[in-house]
Structure 1
Amino acid sequence: MSIWRDVVGQEPALTVLQRAVADPDAMTHAWLLTGPPGSGRSVAARAFAGALQCPKGGCGECRECRTALDGTHADVDILATEALSIGVSQTRELVQLAGRSPSVGRWRVILIEDADRLTEQSGNALLKALEEPTPRTVWLLCAPSLQDVLITVRSRSRHVRLRTPPVEQVAELLSRRDGIKPRLALNSARAAQSHIGMARRLARDEDARGRRRATVELATRIRGVGQAVGAAAQLMAIAEEERDRTLETRAAAEKARLLETLGADPSARTQPPHVRAQINSLEKEQKTRSTRFTRDMIDRALVDLLSVYRDALMLRSGAPVDLVNEDAREVVEEVAGAFDSDGLLLAMDAIGTARERIAANVAPLLALEAMTISLQLPR
Structure 2
Amino acid sequence: MSVWDSIIGQQAVVSQLQAIALGDPKSIAQSWLICGPPGSGRSHVARAFAAALESPDHGMSDEPTRVTEQILAGTHPDVSILATNKVTIGIDEVRELIGVSEQMPSTAPWRIIIIEDVDRMLERTTNVLLKEIEEPAEHTIWLLCAPSAQDVLPTIRSRTRIVNLAVPPVKSVAAWLEHSVGVEPKVAVRAARLAEGHIGIAKLYAKDERVMSDRDELIVGVLGLQRASNAVLLAGDLIDSAKEQAEADVARQAAAAEAEFRRINGLGEKDRIPPKLRGAYNAIAKKDEIKRQATRRSRDVLDRALNSIASVYRDVAVLQNNAESSVGLINLENRTAITELSVRLNRQDAVNRLEEIATARRRLLGNGNPTLVFEALFCALIPPAAPTSRRRR
TM-score by length of 1: 0.88
Verify: 1:42 aligned to 2:39, yes or no: no
Matched letter for residue 359 of structure 1: L
CA distance in 1, matches of 2:339, 2:214: 20
User: Which one-letter code corresponds to 2:352 in the other structure?
Assistant: L
Are the aligned partners of 1:107 and 1:138 in contact in 2 as well (CA < 8 Å)? yes
Task: Name the amino acid aligned to 2:317.
Answer: L
The residue that corresponds to 1:270 in the other structure is none
**Aligned twin of 2:245:** 242
1:209 equivalenced with 2:212 (yes/no): yes
Q: Determine helix, strand or coil for the equivalent of 1:331.
A: helix
Answer yes or no: is 1:158 the counterpart of 2:161: yes
CA-CA distance at 1:252 after TM superposition: 7.0
Q: CA contact under 8 A between 2:246 and 2:295: conserved in structure 1?
A: no
1:171/1:261 Cα in 2 relative to 1: closer, same or farther (>3 Å)? farther
Return closer, same or farther for 1:155/1:366 CA change in 2, 3 Å cut-off. Answer: farther
Name the residue aligned to 1:197: 200
- Kindly indicate whether residue 114 of structure 2 is the aligned counterpart of residue 111 of structure 1: yes
**Matched ranges for 1:294-309 at <5 A:** 294-309=298-313
Identity of aligned residues (%): 39
> Does the alignment pair 1:134 with 2:140?
no
Structure 2 unaligned blocks of 5 or more: 263-271, 386-393
> Does the residue aligned with 1:4 lie in a helix, a strand or coil?
helix
Could you say which residue in structure 1 is the equivalent of 2:267? Answer: none
Shift of residue 74, structure 1, vs aligned partner: 2.0
Match of 2:315 among 306, 311, 325: 311
Rounded to whole Å, the distance in 1 between the matches of 2:116 and 2:250 is 20
For the 8 Å contact 1:85–1:117, the answer to whether it is kept is yes
* Matched position secondary structure for 1:17: helix
8 A Cα contact 1:94 1:110, kept in partner: yes
Once residues 59 and 89 of structure 2 are traced to their aligned partners in structure 1, the CA distance between those partners, rounded to angstroms, is: 30
* Pair member with larger Rg: 2
Quote the offset at 1:128 in angstroms.
3.1
Cα displacement (A) at 1:314: 1.6
Contact 1:36 1:163 in 2 (8 A): yes
Distance 2:43 2:154 in 1: 21
> Which ranges of structure 1 fall in alignment gaps of 5 or more residues?
266-274
The amino acid of 2:143's aligned partner reads L
Equivalent residue for 1:94, pick from 75, 83, 97: 97
Aligned to 2:72: 69
Q: Number of paired residues?
A: 369
Look up the match of 1:355: 361
Q: Normalising to structure 2: TM-score of the pair?
A: 0.85
Q: CA deviation at 1:59?
A: 1.9
Change (3 A) 1:294 1:150: farther
Tell me if 1:373 matches 2:379.
Answer: yes
RMSD of aligned C-alpha atoms?
Answer: 2.7
Q: 2:40, 2:166 within 8 Å by CA — same for their partners in 1?
A: yes
Q: Which residue of 1 aligns with 2:17?
A: 17
Q: Secondary structure at the match of 2:3?
A: coil
Partner Cα separation in structure 2 for residue 6 and residue 232 of structure 1: 37
Q: Determine if contact 1:219/1:335 at 8 Å carries over to the other structure.
A: no
**Residue of 346, 352, 356 corresponding to 1:346:** 352
Q: Does structure 1 residue 326 correspond to structure 2 residue 332?
A: yes
